[in-house]
Amino acid sequence: MPYIDPHIHMVSRTTDDYAAMAAAGCVAVTEPAFWAGFDRSSPEGFRDYFRQLTQVEPRRAAPFGIDHYCWLCVNPKEAEDPAFAREVIQLIPEFLDAPNVLGIGEIGLNRNTRNELQILEEQIAFAAEHDQLILVHTPHLEDKRKGTTLILDALRRNGNISTDRVLIDHVEEHTIRMVLDEGYWAGMTLYPDTKCTPQRAADLIECYGSERLWVNSAGDWGHSDPLAVPKFQQEFRARGHAADAVDRVTLDNPRAFLSQCERFSAG
Ligand SMILES: [Zn+2]
């Protein structure tokens, strides 16, 4: 079945992954800027990363019939040093007009520190100033609920952000409600170890419905599965849900959110 994986880190994946994803029905991916698995030694390292996201990766995806889009930011893990983070943010404007850039992301919190929160607020303000969509990373495990609350507070404090232009990613059972209730979009990440499994994601949709909800693999350089979205499709179909109910979560919803950026035309 056709699908969009709206959160996957293809710079860390092989061309075999692109081939397998295309065979499974992937028509488009969107790739948020994130931690590379190691801290960059200088803000200039991000200039090359942003070139990779805006120039190299779309060319690598194209032969497989997959449209590649991306998001730009300094990730929360490398936002602990505010001076470093601000230098990275200053690099973003020169890439904002690239044809595959959809917005600012994945911004958010990692360990819920004061410095991370400061840089999060500055990047929310940056997105508002430049009229960009926002994709938000929420912290892992025991930090998730508090972090999600802090993030929603920061978005509200800014006051210039429309909730339907923000997707809060990596929601789980204990955070999905607060995100949807405030009018944001929510993403469920299908991960082998932490985060959701395809089964838990299907349970959540059966409990909360599929409005303003998507699933993604967040495949990256670690233990992750670039075919997690088609595996979710299989799980959802196996439970007896109709094909259009599967499409809503894996194709129509991502398309609806992403199409708020006029550059997005895939799927
Ligand atoms: Zn990510």
Q: Which domain holds residue 201?
A: 3-106+184-258
Q: Which of the four pLDDT bands, split at 50, 70 and 90, describes residue 196?
A: confident
Q: Which of the four pLDDT bands, split at 50, 70 and 90, describes residue 267?
A: low
pLDDT given at position 194: 66
Q: Per-residue pLDDT averaged across 61-77, rounded?
A: 97
For residue 206, pLDDT over 60 is answered with: yes
Structural domain contains residue 179: no
CA of 32 to the centre of ligand 1 (A): 6
Question: What is the CATH number for 52?
Answer: 3.20.20.140
CA of 242 to the centre of ligand 1 (A): 29
CA of 218 to the centre of ligand 1 (A): 5
CA of 181 to the centre of ligand 1 (A): 23
Give the DSSP H/E element, type plus range, for residue 166.
strand 166-168
For residue 248, pLDDT over 90 is answered with: yes
Whole-angstrom Cα distance, residue 165 to residue 181?
A: 15
DSSP 3-state of 192: coil
Residue at token pair 């499409």: 247
For residue 195, pLDDT over 90 is answered with: no
CA of 76 to the centre of ligand 1 (A): 11
Angle of CA points 184, 187, 190, to nearest 5°? 165
Whole-angstrom Cα distance, residue 96 to residue 92?
A: 6
CA of 137 to the centre of ligand 1 (A): 7
Structural domain contains residue 244: yes
CA of 105 to the centre of ligand 1 (A): 9
Q: Per-residue pLDDT averaged across 120-124, rounded?
A: 98
Largest Cα–Cα separation, the chain:
52
Distance, first Cα to last Cα, the chain: 12
Query: Which structure tokens are listed for 180?
Result: 């949807």
Residue type for position 183? G
pLDDT given at position 188: 96
Whole-angstrom Cα distance, residue 264 to residue 101?
A: 9
User: Per-residue pLDDT tens for 160-174?
Assistant: 999 999 999 999 999
Q: Per-residue pLDDT averaged across 101-119, rounded?
A: 97
Structural domain contains residue 222: yes
Query: Which structure tokens are listed for 194?
Result: 């932490």
Strand order in the sheet with 67-72: 3-5, 26-31, 67-72, 101-108, 133-137, 166-168, 185-189, 213-216
Query: Which structure tokens are listed for 60?
Result: 């690598």
Q: Per-residue pLDDT averaged across 98-105, rounded?
A: 98
CA of 18 to the centre of ligand 1 (A): 17
CA of 107 to the centre of ligand 1 (A): 10
Does the pTM exceed 0.85? yes
User: Per-residue pLDDT tens for 137-159?
Assistant: 999 878 899 999 999 999 999 99
Q: Which long-range contacts (CB under 8 A, 24 or more apart) does 14-23 make?
A: 15/60, 15/64, 17/219, 17/226, 18/60, 18/61, 18/64, 18/66, 19/64, 20/226, 20/227, 21/64, 21/66, 21/226, 21/227, 22/64, 22/65, 22/66
CA of 247 to the centre of ligand 1 (A): 22
Look at residues 109, 104, 155 and name the one whose alpha carbon lies nearest to residue 134.
104
Q: Per-residue pLDDT averaged across 4-24, rounded?
A: 98
- Contact status, residue 253 vs residue 246, Cβ threshold 8 Å: no
Q: Per-residue pLDDT averaged across 95-102, rounded?
A: 98
Residue 168 dihedral angles phi and psi, to the nearest 5°: -95, 115
Query: Which structure tokens are listed for 114?
Result: 């004061």
Whole-angstrom Cα distance, residue 241 to residue 23?
A: 22
Higher-confidence residue of 123 and 197: namely 123
CA of 69 to the centre of ligand 1 (A): 14
pLDDT given at position 214: 97
For residue 73, pLDDT over 90 is answered with: yes
CA of 31 to the centre of ligand 1 (A): 8
Structural domain contains residue 189: yes
Structural domain contains residue 157: no
Look at residues 17, 24, 59 and name the one whose alpha carbon lies nearest to residue 231.
24
Whole-angstrom Cα distance, residue 134 to residue 45?
A: 23
pLDDT given at position 5: 98
Structural domain contains residue 120: no
Buried b vs exposed e over 136-160: b needs ≥16 C-beta within 10 Å? bbbbeeeebeebbebbbebbeeeee
CA of 63 to the centre of ligand 1 (A): 24
pLDDT, the chain, mean: 96
Structural domain contains residue 198: yes
CA of 220 to the centre of ligand 1 (A): 7
Structural domain contains residue 135: no
Structural domain total, the chain: 1
pLDDT given at position 142: 80
- Contact status, residue 90 vs residue 17, Cβ threshold 8 Å: no
For residue 205, pLDDT over 90 is answered with: yes
Q: Which of the four pLDDT bands, split at 50, 70 and 90, describes residue 266?
A: confident
CA of 89 to the centre of ligand 1 (A): 18
CA of 240 to the centre of ligand 1 (A): 30
